[in-house]
Amino acid sequence: MKATYFKYQLQFKLASGTSRGILTHKDTWFIQIELNSLKGIGECGMFKGLSIDDRPDFETKLAWVCENIDLGLEVLLADLVEFPAIQFGLEMAFQSIKQKSLFELFPSDFTNGKNSIPINGLIWMGDKRFMKQQIKDKLALDFSCIKLKIGAIDFDKELELIKSIRNEFDAQTIEIRVDANGAFKPNEALEKLKRLSDYKLHSIEQPIQQGQPYEMSKLCAETPLPIALDEELIGVFSVTNKEILLQTIMPQYIILKPTLVGGFKGSQEWIDIAESKDIGWWVTSALESNVGLNAIAQWTYTLESQLPQGLGTGGLFTNNIQAPLVVDSGQLFYDQKTKWNLKF
């Protein structure tokens, strides 16, 4: 078996605002495996400033993996606990080899074009005018669930935006999720959640910064609005510690980003624990290219969740890899008529 890796820089069509600043590009890494006549590819989409494996030895570890690829997937995954993005890339590449298909990793009614995955429409942070235009665009595309990133502009202005949506569309017509990315201070969070709850929102992601389990636990117990943990899950490696975190906080939902929490295996561990405690969940991409998004989407479909998933980021980049992933009417489809165009 032979393995190589290389870096690729994705360029945003528009500078995109997040709680970590304005993004103009996103670095990602691809690992390629060859076994006899078979080839596999995986994406290691480490997210600078967010991923636990954003560390100086990331590429050194990738090179080590390629040199030791004959150790096999299970041994490598065990050694890569602190490198979830590399774990995920390896899972993808090995699954590709297993299926003898570069991109159809989990054959299903999704990959054969017979079914689709409901997704939310993502509204990026920015000034009120920019966010309002995005909302109009998503509603014009028939999304029934939208997700707003909040915390970048004045809170009252963000409430006005949400109110303007609710004035036109009730909760049965449009589901609204918000993502605070830890923007609220613990002593102000509950009051802000009460004000947000006036607009019948589905949920809020990570209202306060991660790493404050007892404050988050208290908030989840008192909140008038369902809370979803996101960044809180990053860097929690063992099943025991995952169990302790969810038992301590008892959120209403958790959000799985395979690139950030250890790929399919790490995500499934979170799901199993959450379901044992009646905690809801959904899956979200983390600005991967269409190679990573494709793997996440195919795996997510096999989980049979009825909730809208966060899988609609593939169209953000000017130089993304052409793929059969198509968004239409708030659904992600796999269009077999569209061919992959993997040119590096």
Mean pLDDT of 92-103: 97
Which one is catalytic: 147, 149, 192, 242? 149
Mean pLDDT of 231-243: 97
Instruction: Answer yes or no: same fold for 2-99 and 117-334.
Output: no
| pLDDT higher than threshold 70 for residue 16 | no
Mean pLDDT of the chain: 93
**Span 312-339, pLDDT tens digits:** 877 889 999 999 999 999 999 999 888 8
Q: What is the pLDDT of residue 318?
A: 92
pTM for the whole thing?
A: 0.94
Residue 324, sorted as left (phi over 0), alpha (psi -120 to 50) or beta, turns out to be alpha
| pLDDT higher than threshold 70 for residue 139 | yes
Decide if 117 contacts 297 (C-beta within 8 A).
yes
Pairing of strands 331-334, 117-118: antiparallel
| pLDDT higher than threshold 80 for residue 153 | no
- CA nearest neighbour of 338 among 113, 117, 174: 113
How much of the chain, in percent, has pLDDT values that exceed 90? 81
Q: What is the pLDDT of residue 14?
A: 78
To 5 degrees, how large is the angle CA 36–CA 37–CA 41?
Answer: 95
Decide if 20 contacts 230 (C-beta within 8 A).
no
Q: What is the CATH number of domain 117-334?
A: 3.20.20.120
| Known catalytic membership, residue 132 | no
At residue 302, φ and ψ (nearest 5 deg) are -70, -15
Span of 115-124, 151-160, 271-280, 284-293 with lowest mean pLDDT: 151-160
Q: What is the pLDDT of residue 344?
A: 56
Query: Which whole-number Å values give the CA distances from 117 to 91, 312, 316, in the listed order?
Result: 22, 10, 19
Which one is catalytic: 257, 337, 339, 343? 257
**What DSSP string describes 168-233?**
HS-TTT-EEEEE-TTBB-HHHHHHHHHHHHTT--SEEE-SB-SS-HHHHHHHHHH-SS-EEESGGG
Where does the pLDDT of residue 21 fall: very low under 50, low under 70, confident under 90, or very high at 90 and above? Answer: low
**Span 154-165, pLDDT tens digits:** 899 899 989 988
Where does the pLDDT of residue 20 fall: very low under 50, low under 70, confident under 90, or very high at 90 and above? Answer: low
Decide if 219 contacts 194 (C-beta within 8 A).
no
At residue 167, φ and ψ (nearest 5 deg) are -65, -25
Where does the pLDDT of residue 19 fall: very low under 50, low under 70, confident under 90, or very high at 90 and above? Answer: low
| Known catalytic membership, residue 339 | no
CA distance 109 to 97: 21
Tell me the domain boundaries of the chain. 2-99, 117-334
H or E element at residue 91: helix 84-99
Which residues contact residue 146 at a Cβ distance below 8 angstroms, ignoring those fewer than 6 apart? 120, 121, 122, 123, 135, 138, 139, 165, 174, 175, 176, 177
CATH architecture of 2-99: 2-Layer Sandwich (3.30)
**Span 54-96, pLDDT tens digits:** 999 999 999 999 999 999 999 999 999 999 999 999 999 999 9
